[in-house]
Each structure stands twice: as structure tokens, then as C-alpha cells.
Amino acid sequence: MSLVDLFRINTSKPSLITHNTLTSSYVLLGLAYALCAAKALYHGAPKSLAEIDWIDVFGEGGTWIISLVWFHFAVAWRPPGPVTRWLMTGFAVLSFGFFLDALDEVLRFDETLLGHSLESIFIPAGITILTFAAISLHQEQQILNRQQLRREANFRDHQAIDSITDLYNADYCRQAIHSAIESNTQLDLWMIDLERFDKINQHYSFSTGDTVLNRVANVLVATAPSGALVCRYGGDRFILLQPATDLTENIDETLSQLLTNATSFALSNLAIKNIDCRVRVAKVSVNKFNTAEAVLAQANAVIIEKKQC
């Protein structure tokens, strides 16, 4: 991924399938059911009450209804994309096969194409499509898990989520540092500070400032190495925690330049040209201190020293 691609990360929440799309999906599926039922009545005839096995009717009809519930979840709960389309198609085809199966219990198809032939085609086809969708969903989840790991490490507590950036907050960050000190896990900490950020809120609006914070948060998460944890420390500051390695000694300037460019790009998109919002980065080794507060105080001191230079 290039730097330009990183800067173009969309900071808005992923939009779910629209109400119109949801309604259209139900209408198309309903039309397919209606046409099939009409054709079945034309070619066949209703069974007498004595011929109907009501246990099969409730069992196969219930399976059809459940498949429609799955279809609804796939359409309504997921953002648009190829995996969602495969899930929608698979559940639609599967539900149509189950519908034919249930219809066969109350109508006599006289061995027409609507009978066992179509039923034997749609159900296996739906299962095949859903199998492919499940594989794609697994691949998607692996990618999301890797990205989410940088936001929450190995512990999940949604009460500690920052409402603006969707990163964990300062309390969570302190817990992570405390756990690393107790377990003697070697970690490096980068404190990221956005200079002159207060001027954005003062001269424009807090929503504008939130947009900039989201851009920095997304770029930081996207570029953080595997195994790192990104938190919003508060205000205009972020924390990046990652296992200590010799390769991290000289990346302070690179990280600072990357985030400065990301901030500048966000400001230019918002038509803000009179604020130069630079990024300062301070690095400390977590295990040189006895408490989380001491680690954070040292990082803060380094930031202040860099500002005075």
C-alpha cells in the first residue's frame, strides 16, 4: 500500500446496506416465490388434507422461514461488498430451494420441472455458494483480526473505547503498560503529539478536529507493525505500543513525517490552509520504569523537550 493510498483512508463509519436495497431484495425474492407458487398451481393441484403430512409442512416450512431470517441478517447487518453479495445470493438460492421443498408438501406437482428437479438443483447450489461465501468471510475476518489486534491487543473491553477514533483510551493504555511491566514483556512506547491542534477546534469546529483525529488514527493503525497496539491517550495525543526490537531505533522521524503528511492531507481536504499542524514523536522503553505513570511521564517530558527545540 502506497502513502497516497494510506492518506485516502475513509474516516467515516462503514455504511450498511441501504433501506432501499433491503426493500428491493425482499421484493425480488417475494416475486420469485409468487411466480413459482402460481406456476405450481397452474401445473399441479392442491393435496387433500388427508394427503398432507403436517409434520413435514411445519418442519420444511420452518426451515424456509429460518433461511429467510439468515438472508435478512446477511442483507441488513453487513456493509456492502463482495462477501455480502455472496452471502445474499447463497441464502436467497437456498431459501428458494427450501420454499420449493415446503410447497411440495401441499401441492402436487405431477413430476413437473417445479417438483423434485428444481428442488434438487437450488438447495445444493445454495449450499455451494454459501460455502464459497464462508471461505471469503474467513479470509475477510483474518484481515480484520490483524487490524483489530492493533487496536485492542489481546484484551477486549468495549467500555474503554474512545468514541471519536474507535481506539482504546488512556486507561486501557495504562493497563497494557502495567501488564507488560508485570510480565517483564519488552515493549517500546511512542507518544504521538499533534502540535497546534487546538487551533483547529478554535478557528473551525470540533467536528473538523474530530475528522483530523480520525485520519491520524486510521493511518497509525494501518501502518503499525503486527503485534502493536494503538490507543488515543487523550486530546491530541496517541500512543503506539509494540514489542521492542533493534529495528525500531531509527523510525521516530519516519513515523513523525508520515503522520505529519497525513495530517496535512486531511487539513487540505477540509480547505484548511492557515494551520501548520505538525506531529512530534517521543519514544521510551517501557521496561526501564516501574510504573505505567512513570513511562507516560517520561514520554511526555520528551515531547515537551522536542517542542522547545
Task: Kindly report, residue by residue over 122-134, the tens digit of the pLDDT.
Answer: 888 888 999 998 8
Lowest mean pLDDT among 8-22, 82-96, 140-154, 243-257: 8-22
In this structure, which topology does domain 155-308 adopt according to CATH?
Alpha-Beta Plaits (3.30.70)
Chain center to CA of 141: 9
pLDDT above 50 (res 13)? no
Q: Which residue has the higher pLDDT, 17 or 139?
A: 139
CA distance 119 to 59: 16
pLDDT above 70 (res 21)? no
Q: Which residue has the higher pLDDT, 128 or 234?
A: 128
In the three-class reduction of DSSP (H, G, I as helix; E, B as strand; rest coil), residue 232 is classed as strand
Contact 196, 275 (CB under 8 A): yes
Contact 79, 21 (CB under 8 A): no
Q: Where are the domains of the chain?
A: 13-151, 155-308
CA distance 173 to 22: 40
Segment 41-72, tens digit of pLDDT: 776 677 777 777 888 778 888 888 898 888 88
Segment 194-224, tens digit of pLDDT: 877 777 767 777 777 788 888 888 888 877 7
Contact 278, 298 (CB under 8 A): no
Q: What mean pLDDT is predicted for residues 266-291?
A: 74
CA distance 281 to 238: 10
Angle (CA) 261 265 271, round 5°: 145
In the three-class reduction of DSSP (H, G, I as helix; E, B as strand; rest coil), residue 10 is classed as coil
Q: Residue 164: name the closest of 5, 13, 9, 6 by CA.
A: 13
CA distance 274 to 272: 6
DSSP 111: T
Which of 1-10, 77-86, 267-276 is modeled with the greatest confidence? 77-86
pTM of the model: 0.53
115 grid coordinates = 417438483
Residues 6+ apart with CB under 8 A from 202: none
pLDDT of residue 248: 53
- pLDDT category of residue 114 using cuts at 50, 70 and 90: low
Chain center to CA of 54: 43
